[in-house]
Amino acid sequence: MLKEITDNEFILEVEQHNGVVLVDFWAPWCGPCLMMGPIYEKMAKKFSKLKFLKINTEEHMEHASRYNVSGIPCIIVFKNGKEIERLVGFRPEKAFEEALSKYVPA
């Protein structure tokens, strides 16, 4: 199970983290989010050198608003606390894997 963070944990877990962090902004009522969830978890196991987190935008809206998340699922890739890429909407497993492969350290 992936770690689900709150707005209070976001700064420490994401913005102050050295390295690559993926944050899945999602909501329990969102069909595409529920479809993306198992793929996101599978990629977290496959790309274990990257940090994968989730944040429920219905319960924790502060950072979704701060990062202008207007459509979900929205996976934001951070490197050393800065946003470097945004993946919005459902991605098939192969497409998501290809998008992540460039972040794997050599």
Residues marked as catalytic: 30, 33
Cross-strand pairs, 74: 25, 88
